Amino acid sequence: MKALIVSVDLGEPDYAAHAEEFSMLARGAGADIVATVVARRSRPDAAHFIGAGKLDEAILSADLAGADIVLFDQALTPAQQRNLERRFNRRVVDRVTLILDIFALRAKSHEGKLQVELAQLQHLSTRLTRMWTHLERQRGGIGMRGPGEAQLEMDRRMIGDRVRLLRGRLARVQRQRTTQRRARSRGKTLSVSLVGYTNAGKSTLFNALTRADAYAADQLFATLDTTTRRVWIEGAGQVVISDTVGFIRDLPPTLIAAFRATLEETVQADLLLHVVDAASPQRDEQIMEVNKVLDDIGAAQIPCILVYNKIDQAGYKPRVERNEHGTIARVFVSALGRQGLDGLRAAIVESGHIAGNNASNIENLQSE
């Protein structure tokens, strides 16, 4: 599907990285980017997000390039989206809808599909204004996966009923996860979750540590469904390692809420391995974004090791670094080249013992 990207520079210092990331999202959704229009503004226009002159330029670019769809790299209000679609006479998809669309494309498990549908319906419930009626001739494609056009004709009551049903199903899944975690806890099994920015190499590292075959690819949101494997690590015994969905800047709040059950694996872990793309120029900003989400979901206090991955691309050597207290803080590895994995396993053993002791102390206090 041919797409025009409207990229809006609001003066943020990381605009270039934000724009490149959105282009990757668009390509990941199957878009053929035929033109890009950059608009610079100090603040969004209430009616169209961009100014009148830049809007005319974007409409002309879309016409000349034969674009089928317009992708905005910012979140639009329902009114802005409706106004833009009337002017472009094309479907307009904003950043939030595009991320939800990619999730609908990639979700494979029953639970993942439930979570995506819930997030899409919650997002859709604010936009039930029949704004798609002039676009009915355009079927399928980017921004229309998941619930589909039939869902757009549902009223709020029907969507509300479906949302309650999905929440009930996800609650049952969450109870099952809780039961499984309690069983692991009783067995004193160390629980480790891989977290990190999307495309940092979590799934590749997961496969290297567990000899699993989880899907790994050089694309944003290659992993959506939590995958868990048991692995024996000398010194720690049986360890449960979970590969979780990657984080991204400005992750839609509805998506964080909908994926609460999946992120619960992160919240309940004994140890977090925060996987970082060591070769990314934005790695510090990405670390901050992940830490913000961890704080949002209540996982900021869990012991965490920064795992700098892709050292073969960054020119680093495998090593383990400690902080001023002597605690392991950073481990440098290449999951693809299988470099530094022994050091990471040793770090898991050492940090796992500390995390396990802390968890036991907390559990004892709670039971008193």
Binding residues: 196-203, 221-225, 243-246, 309-312, 334-336
Q: C-alpha distances in angstroms, 73 versus 79, 120, 128, 284? A: 16, 18, 22, 22
Dist. CA 126–CA 356, nearest whole Å? 44
Which residues are known binding-site members for Mg(2+)?
Answer: 203, 223
Q: Please, are residues 142 and 1 in contact by the beta-carbon 8 Å criterion?
A: yes
Dist. CA 219–CA 89, nearest whole Å? 31
What does R_g of the chain's alpha carbons equal in angstroms? Answer: 22
Dist. CA 368–CA 363, nearest whole Å? 9
Query: What is the residue-wise DSSP string for 311-327?
Result: HHHHTPPPEEEE-TTS-
Which residues are known binding-site members for GTP?
Answer: 196-203, 221-225, 243-246, 309-312, 334-336
Name, in order, each residue with C-beta under 8 angstroms of 71's C-beta and a sequence gap of 6 or more: 3, 4, 5, 6, 22, 26, 31, 92, 93, 94, 98, 142
Three-state DSSP at 345 gives helix
Query: Would you report the helix, strand and coil content of the chain in percent, each value rounded to 5?
Result: 50, 20, 30
